[in-house]
Amino acid sequence: MNYEKPLRAALHLLCLLPFLWIVWQVWLMFSYQPHALTANPFQYINQYTGDWTIRILLASLAVTPLRKLLKKNGLIKWRRPLGLYAFFYGLLHLGNYLVLDHFFDWAVIWQDLVKRPAMTFGMIALFLMIPLAVTSTKKMIRRLGRIWPRLHRLVYLIGILAVVHNIMMVKADLREPLIHAAILCLLLGYRLYDKYRPGLVKRLSFT
């Protein structure tokens, strides 16, 4: 039996569920019904979309290590949708900040971006996701050739900037951002180990 189609559908559903849930909560709020958006809905939506951006970004970074460890090459197909969903939630996060939080008050937004390093890191991370999203199609992979994997290594920098932004933006409880940081260290650490493993094995066998 071919599980690919149902698994793909499940992935899309899982990634869309947080979006559908927040749309539903906003609808409840506007219909004066009990909702989960707290007394400060804009802040809630900002935190919620930020959290889902980083979770899906980390999931996309987990695809390659899982593919190698489980020896399941087919998993590679999951990387693109996960990356694009991370970008989608990142855009919602930015949109909420620009529209609901500050209603296009560009002077305040500019001050925020230049005076608060955490905001600068978040903005750079999202900005760097644009070329990756634009070049994620099969056509672009073919057209860019050897430049493509180099360009897409930017995702490591994006992950680092996103985790630093997360740690700096959280007000009280640092547990979740630190879990994100630990997962990122594991995922990047695995890549380093995988890259230098042949040399390491050779050196160890000579000693």
Q: State the residues that interact with ligand HEM by CB under 6 A.
A: 43, 46-47, 50-51, 53-54, 57, 90, 93-94, 97, 119, 122-123, 125-126, 162, 165-166, 169-170
- For the CB of residue 90, give the shortest distance to ligand HEM in the complex, in Å: 4
CB–CB of 45/96 below 8 Å? yes
Q: Which residues contact 62 (CB under 8 A, 6 or more apart)?
A: 183, 187
- For the CB of residue 10, give the shortest distance to ligand HEM in the complex, in Å: 23
Q: Which residues contact 28 (CB under 8 A, 6 or more apart)?
A: 34, 35
Per-residue burial over 28-53, b if 16 or more Cβ lie within 10 Å, else e, is eeeeeeebebeeebeebbbbbbbbbb
Question: 68 or 123, CB closer to ligand HEM?
Answer: 123
Question: 7 or 114, CB closer to ligand HEM?
Answer: 114
- For the CB of residue 44, give the shortest distance to ligand HEM in the complex, in Å: 8
Return d(Cα 78, Cα 207) in angstroms, integer: 41
- For the CB of residue 177, give the shortest distance to ligand HEM in the complex, in Å: 7
Question: 68 or 113, CB closer to ligand HEM?
Answer: 113
Q: Which residue's CB atom is positioned nearest to ligand HEM?
A: 50
- Chain position carrying tokens 């890191």: 121
Question: 53 or 65, CB closer to ligand HEM?
Answer: 53
Return d(Cα 163, Cα 70) in angstroms, integer: 26
- For the CB of residue 39, give the shortest distance to ligand HEM in the complex, in Å: 13
